[in-house]
Amino acid sequence: MIVRISGEGQYRLDDADAPRLDELEGQVVAIVERGSEDGFLDALKGLLDYVRSHGTPLADDELEGSDVILPPSDVSFDEAAKDFTGEGLIPD
């Protein structure tokens, strides 16, 4: 699975990482759907850190289609609310 963090780059993750990614994204979605920013940045950081620590960065000249595109770490709560709703960004 290829995951892009906007403004940062792409990471290759094993398909076995999908359930944990889905769980972490679900935490972000739940916070956004509550409409409260409390815990949002920590949950987003946890999701992005998981991708960074479990993924292998793709070289800048390696072009791959992204299966998932995550927002950058400095995304605002209001911007994230447009993407992290319902089923979220990570396909089942």
Looking at residues 38-50, what average pLDDT do you find?
A: 95
Between 55 and 26, name the one with better pLDDT. 55
**Dihedral angle sign, alpha carbons of residues 25, 8, 71, 4:** negative
> Residues with Cβ < 8 Å from 51, sequence gap 6 or more?
3, 5, 11, 13, 21, 70
Q: Which of 80, 31, 28, 35 is nearest to 49 (CA)?
A: 28
**Confidence band (pLDDT; 50, 70, 90) for 80?**
confident
